Structure 1
Amino acid sequence: MTAEAHEQTEITGEAELRELLGEPARRALDKERSALADVDREWLAAAPFCLVATADANGACDVSPKGDPAGKLALVLDGTTIAIPDRPGNRRADGYRNILSNPHVGLIFLIPGRGDTLRINGRARLVKDAPFFDGLAVGGRRPKLAMVVDIDTVFHHCSKAFLRSELWRPETWGRDAVPSRPRIAKRLESPDVPLEALEEYYGPSYADRLY
């Protein structure tokens, strides 16, 4: 254990946590709902991006980003059920493997430029085909898999995190603050592959392989 770790004062119980942070306002507690409202449906139809948090049976966690054109990211099946399609990726399937042993998921849906977000917590199952897959096709390609989420709680979250981070202010964006994706891949994942080949792989044609 490092010297810095010895100097840390850890919180080990909820009472201690509440003493430090205080109690949540009644409004924050009461905003949880168990079914989608009309504005939630509108939000899901407009959101092109979400984060999916899962954990395996032992509690090991994963957060996976999901992105699609607005209207194709999440399909409302009914007032308490949504479906999120899978798209071609690296095939690690970390979150999906977690769901097979622990169905609980947490979702945050983002709309570019908006600081508030839509949060959904629920229980997920993996479906390899269903009639609604036709409505999730992009460019004529149906997904091979969808994550169907039975909603436990849904609520809107405030914009403090986005305001603090200035996430949507282009003048604060630091695109060149860290190495490019090809250079990261060269350094950490594919040291034997020429940088030129990685730059070509992650170049303009990369977008042609999204679906």
Structure 2
Amino acid sequence: MGSVIDSQEALRELIGESSPTTQQKILDRIDDHARNLIAHSPFVLLATSAPDGSCDVSPRGDPAGSVLVLDDRTLVLADRPGNKLVDSFRNIVDNPHAGLLFLVPGMNETLRVNGRATLVSDAPYFDRLVVKGKRPRLAVVVEVEELYMHCAKAFLRSSLWEPETWPERSALPSLGTILRDQLCLAVSVEELDARLNEGSRTKQY
């Protein structure tokens, strides 16, 4: 396995300490810049963990502006129809700690938010979460404890927003191909892909 780092002291000895400026950028509230980025973000990653430490990261996508900022410490994300595994939600019920990573297309910096999450099945602000005429049945309310900007290095290293670096889609298997092979299904890839594409197109909200 190699040289294992198994203590905070060993980690700091290897990596060093963060600068005072880095520490100072961590806020305990949603400032105007964060509000602006959240308003322009159509995609956020929601990280949760169960009491036993098992983790889950779930992608959440909606039109930009769909995540509500209720006040300087409170965010609301609507739930949309999915696979009903509800891994994130089961974790939140047992362990409210959650992390969010907001992305804005074309922007290399990201907004990180850590806080305590609660599941809500109805509230007056649900009317503001309606998209394409569909009102969510569930929302995640996050009380912000930490908020800060994450630098551009990861996106610059990966060239994520540069189309010329992207692989040819035809070089990668379709979801139908993957599921057929993983589940040993006796159905054609074409039929699976058609079903999956239709479901994605018609059951977004």
Q: TM-score w.r.t. structure 1 length?
A: 0.93
What residue identity is the alignment partner of 1:181? L
Alignment gaps of 5+ in structure 1: none
Query: In the alignment, is residue 47 of structure 1 matched against residue 77 of structure 2?
Result: no
Give a deviation string over 1:55-83, Cα, whole Å, max 9, x none: 011111000000001011x1011110010
**Could you tell me which residue of structure 1 aligns to residue 86 of structure 2?**
93
**Could you tell me which residue of structure 2 aligns to residue 123 of structure 1?**
116
Q: 2:191 aligns with which of 186, 191, 197?
A: 197
Q: 2:57 aligns with which of 63, 78, 88?
A: 63
- After superposition, the Cα gap between the structure-2 partners of 1:66 and 1:189, relative to the gap in structure 1 and judged at 3 Å, is farther
Q: In 1, Cα distance between the equivalents of 2:190 and 2:94?
A: 41
Query: In the alignment, is residue 27 of structure 1 matched against residue 29 of structure 2?
Result: no
* Distance apart, 1:54 and its partner CA: 0.3
Query: In the alignment, is residue 83 of structure 1 matched against residue 115 of structure 2?
Result: no
Q: In 1, Cα distance between the equivalents of 2:198 and 2:166?
A: 21
- RMSD over aligned Cα, in angstroms? 1.3
**Could you tell me which residue of structure 2 aligns to residue 132 of structure 1?**
125
Q: In 2, Cα distance between the equivalents of 1:45 and 1:188?
A: 38
Q: In 2, Cα distance between the equivalents of 1:203 and 1:95?
A: 24
* Distance apart, 1:12 and its partner CA: 0.9
Q: In 2, Cα distance between the equivalents of 1:79 and 1:114?
A: 23
Query: In the alignment, is residue 142 of structure 1 matched against residue 144 of structure 2?
Result: no
Tell me whether 74-83 or 180-189 shows the greater mean CA deviation.
Answer: 180-189
* Distance apart, 1:203 and its partner CA: 2.9
- After superposition, the Cα gap between the structure-2 partners of 1:171 and 1:120, relative to the gap in structure 1 and judged at 3 Å, is same
Contact 2:174–2:193 (8 Å) recurs in 1: no
Alignment gaps of 5+ in structure 2: none
- Structure 1 runs of 4+ aligned residues shifted over 6 Å read none
Q: Percent identity among equivalent residues? A: 47
Q: TM-score w.r.t. structure 2 length?
A: 0.96
The number of residue pairs the alignment matches comes to: 204
